[in-house]
Amino acid sequence: MDITTEQSAFRADLLSGKTAIVTGASRGIGAAIAHRLCESGANVVLCSRSAESVAQIADTLQSKGYVTYAMAANISEKADVEALIEKTLDQFSQIDILVNNAGITRDMLLMRLKDEDWDAVLQTNLTGTMYCTRAVLRPLIRQKSGRIINISSVVGLVGNAGQANYAAAKAGIIGFTKATAKEVATRGITVNAIAPGFITTDMTAQIPEEHQKQLLELIPLREFGHPEDVADAVCFLASDAARYITGQILQVDGGMVM
């Protein structure tokens, strides 16, 4: 997969010396986040379920001179998450930034929603975010600093017909972000969430064209977002410029939800 060459708005030393983990980094928003973090000077550990696809992105970034490490990890499996954190510490001796980006959809009207589709979406989006956050807290608390950035969705704020499972998981991430932010604030760790609107990726490519047109009408900026728009918000929240911001939900949605 190609990754953008458009230059970051941030300085190359914004995050230099920092180590970041990005989950779900094999494509879409996660790949763009990994790229922007690299451009900002961070060492980046990329994970997704498939070793092959995440290695491809990591290799592309390495060929541009960035420091990356690719690893297969299914965030809905506790043992995989623990291995991810352990391996990152082995490779880089520290973790400064965790971006909980991996997510899935299994859309269906509630009347016809299968238990397994409810479970899968909650397990990946919400429980996976919890597993990664819980596992990273010990090293972050030890070093008395850290940035956790969770990718929620505007759907978690306003709901969406056909996405009861996804909306519940994304709203859950918002509550989880605020509770965790309160727990770890005195340890020098900030926890924030980003709620993207409609961003053009494989996930939204599944939405029928007619529905996409209707959605565009709801966006005051009259444009779908790019993965890099979310990635830039991540870099800001990960940087020292955001040191006094915690427990917040930053919407990156072209004004779709106000």
Which residues are marked as active site?
166
Whole-number Å distance between alpha carbons of 94 and 141? 11
Considering the complex, state which of residue 91 and residue 212 has its C-beta at the smaller distance from ligand NAI: 212
Residue type at 83? Answer: A
Whole-number Å distance between alpha carbons of 154 and 196? 6
If you search the block for the tokens 């690893």, which residue do you land on? 71
Find the shortest distance in angstroms from Cβ 138 to ligand NAI.
21
The DSSP symbol for 12 reads: T
Structure tokens at 128: 């996976």
Considering the complex, state which of residue 15 and residue 46 has its C-beta at the smaller distance from ligand NAI: 46
Considering the complex, state which of residue 27 and residue 147 has its C-beta at the smaller distance from ligand NAI: 27
Find the shortest distance in angstroms from Cβ 102 to ligand NAI.
4
**Alpha-helix runs per DSSP H in 122-251:** 128-143, 155-158, 164-184, 202-205, 209-217, 227-238
Find the shortest distance in angstroms from Cβ 256 to ligand NAI.
10
* Continuous segment of H or E residues that includes residue 57: helix 51-63
Among 81, 101, 92, 108, which Cα is nearest to 35's?
101
Find the shortest distance in angstroms from Cβ 17 to ligand NAI.
26
* Continuous segment of H or E residues that includes residue 80: helix 78-92
Cα-based torsion angle of the residue sequence 8, 257, 196, 159 in order, rounded to the nearest 10 degrees: 180
For ligand NAI, the binding residues (CB under 6 A) are 23-24, 26-30, 48-49, 74-76, 101-104, 124, 128, 151, 153, 196, 198-199, 201-204
Whole-number Å distance between alpha carbons of 34 and 24? 10
Find the shortest distance in angstroms from Cβ 181 to ligand NAI.
19
